[in-house]
Amino acid sequence: MKTKKMLKSNKMSEACGWIGMILIHGATAPTSVSVLMGWSTDLPPLNFIFLVWLGLFLFLIRAIYAKDTLYIVSNAIGFSLNSLLLMLIAFN
């Protein structure tokens, strides 16, 4: 009985994590895409992007060490998008 309940609880928490990742990247990706496609020239401040980039890098290291697939995928996506924004800001 406890195993079944724990398994269901674990599936629910995993689903929440993946949905959260989609929501977070769904909120931040439009800025990157609009700048890359030339639809917008408004870039976020460099210090904001750099601190987010650094935080995602550190989270990615932790996720790899913990072998946590959800956070590896999420942080790799975020790190990549923020790397693109940093390059756009630096070379703009």
> Each residue of 73-89: pLDDT tens digit?
988 988 888 888 888 88
- In the predicted model, is pLDDT for residue 9 greater than 80? no
- Residue 69's contacts (CB-CB under 8 Å, 6 or more residues apart) are none
Cα 35 to Cα 22: distance, rounded to the nearest angstrom? 20
Confidence of residue 1 (pLDDT cuts 50, 70, 90): low
Domain residue ranges of the chain, discontinuous segments joined by +: 2-90
The amino acid sitting at 37 is: M
Tell me the fold of 2-90.
Answer: Monooxygenase (1.20.1280)
The whole model's pTM is what? 0.67
The pLDDT assigned to 18 comes to 83
Q: Is 71 exposed, middle or buried (0-12, 13-18, 19+ CB in 10 A)?
A: middle
